[in-house]
Structure 1
Amino acid sequence: MPGFRLYFSLFNKYTKLDPRVSIKYLLNSYTSLQFSFGTYSQYLNRLETEIEAPGSDDYFIFPETFTLWRVADNKKLQPSKATHYVFTLKTKLTDEIDFTSGVYYKDFQRVYIIYYSSSEGYSGSLKEGKKKSYGVEFLLEKRIGKITGWLSYTLSKVINWFPGVNQGKPYPPKYDRRHNFHIVAQYNLSPKWKFNLEWRYYSGVPYTPYGGGDKNSKRTPAYHRLDVGIIYTFKVKERWRFNLYLQIYNLYNNKNIIEVYYSKSSVNYIYSLPFLPTAGIEIEFK
């Protein structure tokens, strides 16, 4: 199915036509192949701020990256552009289990960052570059029965390139995670009792070593945690429904790094929440 999207902005007098194509082929009644291609323009630019790792003579506390948003002005800041290629396979393994897999490649042009470096006194300069991402995805879903849930895995890579950053060499951005694994399951013991489980594993994210080295050439340890919960449901006079729940976040109390920042003499870390039980009640009425 061919198509297009027309962008027109009175604010910056910008017009752009983005073509899109999607082709779907049915192998049989339960299996399909789909290829999609498209270009995408974005007027609201995402400006990621990035910092050169400080040396021993620098003293400040600064997050490695944070994000700003700015509307493209069609002059110094052009609308960002992306080209996507996606190939997807969908099928049913059984009457209860669906399987989806996909391969993708995405090319991004006119990507912007605000770069803070010691040579510029950490004042920040706008840099235009490009990036690409590619990978494979797998998804298993079970939507009916006493046990429901899904399992997903993604193998991916993201590469940035900006002139004047990392000696002009490509480097991975902060959010580049090579492996992403996720399990969600719910056991419906009865209409009143439900048990749920969620486990996730993510590869560590890149960061720049303190005092020198290629940008984002080191990685934090992998992020992983297990969440579990119990839900008890009962009704009062058919109109009122009560859900009592107990949830435990990070059951085995893993120390997961969620942010990296620099101080005078080291790289420092901010961690996510530790073992944390919560309980509550939800009330519904007709």
Structure 2
Amino acid sequence: MASRVQVHGIDVLDGYIARTREFMNDWLKFNQLLGAYTTPGVNKLQLETYFLQLKSKLARDHRVLSDRLGPDCKFTVDVINIVSSATSLENIYAQSEVAVRKLQSEWHRSFITVNETLGNLEDKHKRAEAGERVNVGGIWIQSKVKKPLPWRTILKYAGTAAALVVIVFSIYVMRNFLGFWAPKAGEGIAVSAAMTDEERVRVMINTMKAATEAGDIDTMMTAFSDNFAFEQGGKTEVRALLKAYELQGGFKGSILDTSQAKIEFDGDKVKFAPVQFIGPNDQTALTVIAERNGERWLITGMGGL
């Protein structure tokens, strides 16, 4: 007697689609980093670090998708070849212009196959949701829900959201949330050799105050040391937090009241408190901790965030 074929629920295919869409978004980010490397004034070391992290993730996800999807994975060999051969952004651009253009052409061809893989999976998802039994990566999948769900609408909005995430990442998130190409720590703080330490601390605080009340996150972040840390992370996380707050209108009409704050030195560290942030809908008392950084004092910690 023949054994019964095992049929998996559609949630398995949901997982495949989500992972393939994530891979496609990462593949777009890979190309965006290639283009960003030649931007004047870019922090190339920071880009190289992110590039290597992204390469490792792409290699892992490529292996997983290839194994799980089998013949349904339409990726060309160009994908893994590009990931393997692109050892660093510096090495890529050390090649001839012809070689760089060839790499870009290979990336475009490979992106088409990644998109084809996603489209094929979404088509099978639609058919499975309608009750058809479909084979993906050697396993059978069929919806176990009697009443059909509006997957066409769901996938339509999911696809739109994914596309928006990619666009936002390329022209917005890297710059505004992650701080790529933003002014460096200390750049917005003007000090002179004749100033006392207390005067330099006040310059830093006044720069922070003016930038906060103007909603100027770039200048605001120049007061933060690269070693800044708080409960939710570091400098990148606090920038993302501030950007999200700005998008909610939090800096409109805001005031950073430092009138009652006192400066307390402890060697190369200083405490400045209390600092009152007064927003349109909230008020927070902050304690600012800063450390000497060359000629400047930069914020390394902050309580109240």
TM-score (norm 1): 0.24
Structure (1 or 2) with the larger CA radius of gyration: 2
Greater per-residue strand proportion = 1
